[in-house]
Chain A
Amino acid sequence: GESVGLHLPTLSVQEGDNSIINCAYSNSASDYFIWYKQESGKGPQFIIDIRSNMDKRQGQRVTVLLNKTVKHLSLQIAATQPGDSAVYFCAENNQAGTALIFGKGTTLSVSS
């Protein structure tokens, strides 16, 4: 079946550290992946996306890495700040390409 999961439900880091959030996906035919950040009481907020013809994509303080061989996706956040504290979800398009399948999320806690 289709599923997207995360390796760790929680991650605690110190302010200024780099954070790495991991995600494993099961559908080898998926060709679009996306990371969202969800703060308490708010809707998911787009962070960065990547298509399967790329291995790496960088944004502002964030980098997404895609390893299609092992079906693994990661989000790297540089110089993590308290404002980065949230739940992070990875998602992939479903087999039909008509919807996003979300993982269960990793809660990132940043202490100062």
Chain B
Amino acid sequence: DSGVTQTPKHLITATGQRVTLRCSPRSGDLSVYWYQQSLDQGLQFLIQYYNGEERAKGNILERFSAQQFPDLHSELNLSSLELGDSALYFCASSVRGAKETQYFGPGTRLLVL
């Protein structure tokens, strides 16, 4: 158990819908990262938050957004969902930055029908 929690574990929705994925980092970690894992693209970095502020953006679509709250939990919002958004979404956390060990949560499996 990494100490990072994610909910829900599974999510099935339809195209055009909007969903919210939730992540709680390890106790004491200030940075939260979101990754998308699909069969053809592997693990892709989406976005990083540090102590409530956006720090870095990766290959995140404009239809996706995230935020980190004062209690350091984070939410990833996916809107106008398309079939191609079906994937595993992982949250990771580290104490401060990306040059430290990132601990991953169990992921949310999203299926868009």
| A residues whose Cβ falls under 8 Å from a Cβ of B | 31-32, 34, 36, 42-46, 49, 89, 91, 93-94, 96-105
Contacts and interface: CB of A to CB of B under 8 A. Distances in A.
A31 B99 contact: yes
B27 interface: no
Contacts of A93: 98-99
B18 interface: no
Contacts, number: 60
B64 to A, nearest CB: 15
B58 A43 contact: no
A57 B41 CA distance: 29
* Interface range for B: 20 to 34
Interface of B: 2, 4, 33, 42-45, 48, 55-56, 58, 90, 92, 97-99, 101-107
Contacts of A99: 33, 45, 48, 56, 58, 98
A100 B102 contact: yes
A99 B35 CA distance: 10
A47 B42 CA distance: 18
Contacts of A104: 42
A46 B98 contact: no
